Amino acid sequence: MKVAVFSAKKYDQDGFAQWADPSLQFSYFDSRLNSLNVKLAQGCHAICAFVNDELSAEVLQQMSEMGIEMVALRCAGFNNVDLDTAKALGIRIARVPAYSPEAVAEHTVAMMLTLNRKLHKAFNRVRDDNFAIDGLLGFNMHGKTVGIIGTGRIGLATSHILKGFGCKLLCYDIEPAAELAGHYVSLNELYAQSDIISLHCPLNPATKHLINSDSLAKMRDGVMLINTSRGGLVNTKTVIEGLKSRKIGYLGLDVYEQEADIFFENLSEKVIDDEVFKRLLTFPNVLITSHQAFFTKEALQQISSITSDNLMAFAGGNTTGNELIQ
């Protein structure tokens, strides 16, 4: 079966070469999938897409006209997919629902520790032969209250790590996990009582801009906010105001609302036109990584293997249980 892989990087190619079924014939395209380049998939049976690829009604319609009946998402999120149109057109959508949730959880806590103990600043100081520790004061994680919004696989993995630090956990989810019974509170309580808030919920109409002026007003002054889920959960302009007012004391982002034109690319020799993003980079208490929380060897192996399984199931007229639209 021929598969067009969009937003493909070398690590994607290496992963599929090592862990995908050898009968799958991949064609790799570095560009993000959109209505202008979907024609690159002409002659393929399926498309393999990533987090910032466009799977709008227009793109799906073009795919259908080309005879493509399958989209294999090599990610868990699907906020970039028009599921209603896919269903109407009979296009199967399958995803990778879990690929090493520990990878994202560990990155989440790494961001907390880096911001708290200012490890990034200490690294740069020592390289300049500056061994002073003034301005590097942090706080004990032990005993701090951490609010976890979203307790699916990643949120749960994050809770396991934070329990090891001796943190008090407050949780919110519309589908509580039995393991965290007794830790669930309302969102308002979580906002008001948490020293650190970490986002692990999906992006959908109900959660878009979950972090806004109203929610920020309910938080403690100097709160640490971490987002390793989806950029659209946070109203970035409002967060900038929160940083300026000192309501937010620390901000860690592995995702960004308008990341599609920035992340996963080397723009070091180019001018970035996104003034909001550039403003974020001016704050000394902001740490941004480029959607790399998932990026471990173990996660890449699972992504490649499960995506391959999803494609092979489609080719054989079977299902894997990972289908959003069958």
The one catalytic residue among 54, 259, 279, 298: 259
The one catalytic residue among 125, 230, 265, 323: 230
Active site residue 230: yes
**Separation of alpha carbons 240 and 253, rounded Å:** 13
| Chain centre distance of CA 223 | 21
Active site residue 298: no
- 204-213 contacts, C-beta under 8 A, 24 or more apart: 204/79, 207/233, 208/232, 208/233, 209/233, 209/234, 209/235, 209/238, 210/149, 210/234, 211/235, 211/238, 211/239, 212/238, 213/238, 213/241
Burial class (CB in 10 A: 0-12, 13-18, 19+), 295: middle
Beta strands in 38-89 (DSSP E): 46-49, 70-73
Active site residue 125: no
3-state secondary structure of 168: strand
- Minimal CA–CA distance to 306: which of 294, 292, 323, 291? 323
Beta strands in 134-264 (DSSP E): 145-149, 168-172, 196-199, 223-227, 248-253
Q: Which residues are catalytic?
A: 230, 259, 291
